[in-house]
Amino acid sequence: MCGIFGYIGDKKTAPSIVLKGLKTLEYRGYDSWGVAVVPEKKTTEKVIVVKKKAGKIGNADVVDMPEGSLAFGHTRWATHGGVTDKNAHPHLDCTKTIAVIHNGIVENYEKLKTKLEGLGHRFVSETDTEVIAHLVEEYLKKYSVLPRDAAPAFSKAVQATFQELEGLNAIIVINTAAEEMVAARNGSPLVAGFGHGENYLASDPAALLPHTKQVHFLEDDEMVIVSKGGIHIFNAHTGQRVRPRKQLLTWTAEETEKGKFPYFMLKEIHEQAGLLSEIASESPEQSILIARELKKAPRVYMVGAGTSAHAARAASYFFSLIAGKLVNYGVASEFDHRLSVIPKDGALMALSQSGETMDLLEVVKKAKEKNIKIFSLVNVVGSTLWRMSDEHLAIGAGPEKGVASTKSFITKIAHLLLIAYAMTDKVKEGQKNLIKAAKSTKIVTSKAHTHAIMALAKKLKDEQHLYIIGHGLSYCAALESALKIKEISYIHAEGIPAGELKHGTLALVTKGTVCVVFAPRDEHYQSTMANAMEMKARGGYIIGISDKNEEIFDEFLQVPDAGIATIIPNIIVAQMLAYYLTIERGFDPDMPRNLAKSVTVK
């Protein structure tokens, strides 16, 4: 949460470079944005110039600010303080010579604020972040004995400030007296990028792609001093130097662009057929390795948040249906009670697009403390989860920028299906199923099918509630479909096990209640149809998603059968329905209100 981008180098257009960087990070938070620059022109009273505003960044490529070669900026997802211009980052100290941007929550900010106010500091925002600027100011006074000592004094002041912060935080601080950015991380992600005559900091490696592919992912309690000439890393507590662990990013800058699509979400939906074919044809070596390890473990637990938790749930069905292995799964924010009973020789499989979801990282951290082996499926290679895992598999979805997960969910599911098949030495059968799923996906995303989905979205756009039902894997599809519809179109949608309708939800069905039914031709087909009939008999308006039309369907979206992998095209149809419902209702599918991608706070 919150996008961070910082630049220092030869170019004098640092504010505009930062603005562009922020635009690539807007999916991390879009309540407000801001840029700060140390102006190039020396004035007698040199202060940091800040431009910040509530709302989205907009289309401008250049920010109207003084020239400078040191600037940083922030896109906000509000935690402390309302969404106002004043609460947007960067925040300044009293002298306006120190600026800070921050991702996380300073848990002891009230105590610090009271202390600082007592020392005469004046606060202008309601944020926890502002205490950081004033605290650095206070320490800088203490450490700046001689003016020529300014640079080391500044980093020492940031270090002392960081040590006082409680909670999980990433901070970057700049100062008019030192030509550098000083940053530190505990919990929230931060990446340093190595350029030529210029260097960078960002919250997300994808933002660095137009500039450099050489990066260092900061570990917890690492500090970094980024100047034009270099990047120096050290331990925030001991001060000991840390060797940069340079890593090469594999994504390209073009992959982070929208291309011909109006929204990232649509682009990402359309990438899925190709990604499925790729996964089906690449070497399954890593899936086989993980399958072997999971097979050995007496108990396997799967965990994720949001859409990734739905992938974990679906995987538990794959593992029992395909590999005969009972797998326990759960959502990360509700996993604590399971942690205490996982045996030492158990295995924890963590699923995540970003590899930075705080609820998930907390589970993994606690599991590691118990010496439980961690396996992960991650999209962002090098992310915190990636580095914490004993074995990891890159799901290979490429940059995903729509806040609603689409291709990262589908690629996770595809790999989990292969792992389940690999557990019974039948990985080839898994690959065949993925090829079927890719073919079916191509059909459901074709022009003709898209038109049918668009027409349905038009009909449903004013609905307030949608019920989505399915049995077995289709129940997992129902849950994920409901999440997609809710989060971007703001229509209340609920995924329900088809067999559970009669245990409560049927009471809500009246004439015209819309019910989406996933009815693939599997062992549950007949009972699903019977459940759909229960809805229909009470006035329900039935939308069938199946490979065959049935009389009880009032609307029908065809999905060619792909065996056990039919869950894949089924969910893709729901992604498209969610997308077109959102367009019909006039909302932005890439940036749903109140949400942000990569949830790095608890």
Which two tokens mark 275? 């990604």
Residue 368's CB is within 10 A of a number of other CB atoms, namely 15
Work out how close the CB of 379 gets to ligand F6R at its nearest, in angstroms, rounded to a whole number: 7
Cis peptide preceding 262, ω within 30 of 0? no
Work out how close the CB of 405 gets to ligand F6R at its nearest, in angstroms, rounded to a whole number: 4
Q: How far apart are CA 215 and CA 65, in angstroms?
A: 28
Which residue in 366, 484, 597, 602 is the catalytic one?
A: 597
| 468 touches 478 (CB < 8 A) | yes
Residue positions counted in the chain? 602
Q: Which residues bind ligand F6R (CB under 6 A)?
A: 305-308, 352-354, 357, 360, 404-405, 483, 487, 598-599
Catalytic status, residue 373 = no
Instruction: List all residues 6 or more positions away from 228 whose beta carbon is below 8 Å from its beta carbon.
Output: 8, 9, 10, 69, 179, 197, 198, 199
In the complex with ligand F6R, the residue whose CB is nearer, 125 or 411, is 411
Which two tokens mark 479? 């849950």
Work out how close the CB of 185 gets to ligand F6R at its nearest, in angstroms, rounded to a whole number: 18
SS3 543: strand
Element housing 170 (H / E): strand 169-175
In the complex with ligand F6R, the residue whose CB is nearer, 159 or 333, is 333
In the complex with ligand F6R, the residue whose CB is nearer, 519 or 581, is 581
Work out how close the CB of 13 gets to ligand F6R at its nearest, in angstroms, rounded to a whole number: 33
The closest alpha carbon to 16, from 55, 72, 90, belongs to 72
In the complex with ligand F6R, the residue whose CB is nearer, 24 or 431, is 24
In the complex with ligand F6R, the residue whose CB is nearer, 236 or 404, is 404
In the complex with ligand F6R, the residue whose CB is nearer, 227 or 256, is 256
Work out how close the CB of 575 gets to ligand F6R at its nearest, in angstroms, rounded to a whole number: 9
Residue 425's CB is within 10 A of a number of other CB atoms, namely 10
Q: Would you give the DSSP letter of residue 494? A: E
Q: How far apart are CA 586 and CA 575, in angstroms?
A: 17
Q: Which residue number is nearest to ligand F6R in terms of Cβ?
A: 306
Element housing 319 (H / E): helix 307-323
Which residue in 2, 156, 373, 536 is the catalytic one?
A: 2
In the complex with ligand F6R, the residue whose CB is nearer, 308 or 582, is 308
Q: Would you give the DSSP letter of residue 559? A: -
The closest alpha carbon to 186, from 601, 538, 552, belongs to 601
| 178 touches 151 (CB < 8 A) | yes
Work out how close the CB of 322 gets to ligand F6R at its nearest, in angstroms, rounded to a whole number: 23
Catalytic status, residue 476 = no
Work out how close the CB of 120 gets to ligand F6R at its nearest, in angstroms, rounded to a whole number: 42
Q: How far apart are CA 403 and CA 400, in angstroms?
A: 8
Known catalytic residues? 2, 597
